Structure 1
């Protein structure tokens, strides 16, 4: 888009509430029903040709439509020029700590920003690069050579596992489970902590986050509690989303944490000087606990799954967590991630 902020005018009536006489049951119509039925009856080769042709036609129509309203630029297919590069087995260099003054100033700043945009999009389906992308997207206003080298490290890792992806089984228990963690004072510049959590719907991973906390925490317990609050907000939202698909959840939701102090604050009904600066978060989590929406469980630190979202792990530990997150290789040599490397 050529404009940072898009403005449009609506020629249709917009209803904040359903208009009188609207029948909800008759209004819920699946517009894809006939198309899905057609694809189901077709042969595998017919499905592939039909989908590819429809996709190309759809993309061209959408781009033409958007261009009439907002004037867009088509930059073509993604490419990095790393087809001959050696692949790597971890998404981030172990022990690397990025800061605002790490190395010399980067000249190819536009290339870095373009690459980060693609990695951010890819991280929607690749939780294994969530920590790497979060680290690399912090310093877009002051880029150094070290950031570019670290970003290329991620691309070379993706080259080695282009087909890695989330596995969603056909048969599942549909019980929510959440794991939360925090990396206290991990930012070298601001000493802000890192919030991370992952949520499973039965076996598969359905939600995850790696984000720097906006407020500096006085202790690791405070940082952990802020992560608890962030995950409770996500857990509150998911049941409403699942209800639209006709899925009802059994409560309480198991919430796994490895910090005893944070769990003690959660269960303690008395606030005092050490918790008043996080009292809003305390009330948020406490209300979910007293309403039997969540059931906190203490686990050992070395079994804490969100560690893969907070730090660069050694290969053995990283591979172990990756398998527990349910990220198998779908097919050798195929996958969305390969789009970053297939175009020379």
Structure 2
């Protein structure tokens, strides 16, 4: 905590001044976190001073808050292209990323312990962004984007978190996910120069070849790149109290029809399928399962069904969620493999399930898209309108798949290696 306060002072994050009578300062809190490696060992302890941004007022303390981050499909495509081209991969992390951008609004914050003196009525006027502020992520993204475009990197129009630099036979690509960065390219000297430039602009930690990115374990071998979330799955099962349960061989029973409607069964609804008293437990479990689908397309359908009942889950919905966890108990280390395939041909498969939703009679779209032998995109989604026939449902599924293919082709155009002519 002392080191963090020192860093904030050196960064000129705030100015100390008497409390103004016309403005009410926002609060703060300390957030503590233990960062682990992929094997579960402790990497370091972190303390972070966070502003209570939920007390800010829109249009007064902040304006826009949106900040782009790399899509999961972009990360998969990025890794696949890098491996096929035999390019090196580098991972970097920005220290105190949100503290680099100057604030345009007049924001005051209470004085944290360690700076407060007895008898003084002073507060902090924030000069730079701070974690917890509504506009913090947007301010950081703007500063980082300007730093890259200033050295002639081009921001992709297909994913604003992707930046590329191409001159002659030299090609370098970079993607950013908040403060985590992945870099690849065909010029090691150019990548080294980029790292030095970013380190001069910001304080950067070079993590070398990526092994643990966004909670995903990355392993590279001559056969390909594998992605899995084994540690995440084991923590999820342990926190749910299912470490000693009997594994299930399937994530969901065939023809399972979960619904919020009541059926006339002669039994009262409270006895037949009572609503859950603790909604947060169900919401937390399903939210973590949604994140797990980044490397587990085999649970995509089940998670899609469960996520429809976040607002009012019942006991049957929780039972179905527990079954998915039991399935994960039997295969925690499954994931994706991006094999070495020199032909980066895009292939797609799509299907639909006509009128499958028992509540709305809407159809279901499912598709998966491969780049060479690597599965880079997949989705299970309810169609927005009711299809009057199975043929119409199939056409709608093909339309969604075609849109995704066109977008991936544009992404590949941004990632092309002109030296190889592909």
TM-score by length of 1: 0.54
1:125 is aligned to 295
* Shift in Å, 1:176: 1.0
Residue 183 (1) aligns with residue 364 (2): no
Q: 1:199 to 1:133 in 2, by over 3 A?
A: same
Task: Single out whichever of 88-97 and 115-124 deviates more from structure 2.
Answer: 88-97
Kept after mapping to 2: 8 A contact 1:184/1:219? yes
Give the equivalent residue in structure 2 for 1:153.
Answer: 323
Determine the structure 2 residue equivalent to 1:339: none
User: Which residue, out of 238, 245, 253, partners 2:415?
Assistant: 245
2:312 is aligned, of 142, 155, 171, to 142
Q: What residue number does 1:7 align with?
A: 135
Specify every segment of 5 or more residues in structure 1 that has no aligned partner in the other structure, as ranges.
Answer: 38-49, 60-76, 252-344
Give CA-to-partner distance per residue, 1:59-95, whole Å, 9 cap, x none.
9xxxxxxxxxxxxxxxxx6411100100011110223
Between structures 1 and 2, the one with greater strand share: 2
Shift of 1:29: 7.3
Aligned to 2:386, the other structure's residue is in SS state coil
**Contact 1:101 / 1:144 at 8 angstroms: preserved in 2?**
no
How far apart are residue 25 of structure 1 and its match?
4.0
In the alignment, structure 1 residue 173 sits paired with structure 2 residue 343: yes
Q: Which residue of 2 aligns with 1:162?
A: 332
Shift of 1:187: 0.5
Tell me if structure 2 keeps the 8 A contact 1:172–1:203.
no
CA gap of 1:126–1:250, structure 2 versus 1, over 3 A, is farther
Matched ranges for 1:75-114 at <5 A:
78=236, 79-101=239-261, 103-114=273-284
User: Which has the higher mean CA deviation after the structures are superposed, 176-185 or 126-135?
Assistant: 176-185
Deviations 1:4-45 (A, max 9, x none): 874347386776x967988954794778569x99xxxxxxxx
Residues 353, 363 of structure 2: 8 Å contact kept: yes
Q: Partner residue of 1:213?
A: 383
Aligned length: 218
Relative to structure 1, the CA distance from residue 133 to residue 172 in structure 2 (aligned partners, 3 Å threshold; closer, same or farther) is farther
Q: 2:392 matched to which residue of 1?
A: 222
More helix by share: 1
Q: Larger Cα Rg: Structure 1 or Structure 2?
A: 2
Contact 1:175 1:250 in 2 (8 A): no
Return closer, same or farther for 1:160/1:239 CA change in 2, 3 Å cut-off: same
> CA, structure 1 residues 82+3, in 2 after alignment: closer, same or farther (shift >3 Å)?
farther
Query: Partners of 2:274 and 2:327 in 1: how far apart?
Result: 24
Distance, in Å, in 2 between the alignment partners of 1:94 and 1:141 is 24
Contact 1:134 1:210 in 2 (8 A): yes
Runs of 4+ with deviation above 2 angstroms: 1-15, 17-34, 247-251
> RMSD of the TM alignment (CA)?
4.0
Q: 3-state DSSP class of the match of 1:200?
A: strand
Distance 2:153 2:283 in 1: 47
Give the secondary-structure state (helix, strand or coil) at the position aligned to 1:154.
helix
Give the C-alpha shift of residue 247 in structure 1: 6.0
25 and 154 in structure 1: CA distance in 2 versus 1, 3 angstrom threshold = same
Q: Give the aligned partner of residue 125 of structure 2.
A: none
Q: Is the 8 A contact 2:341 2:372 kept in 1?
A: no
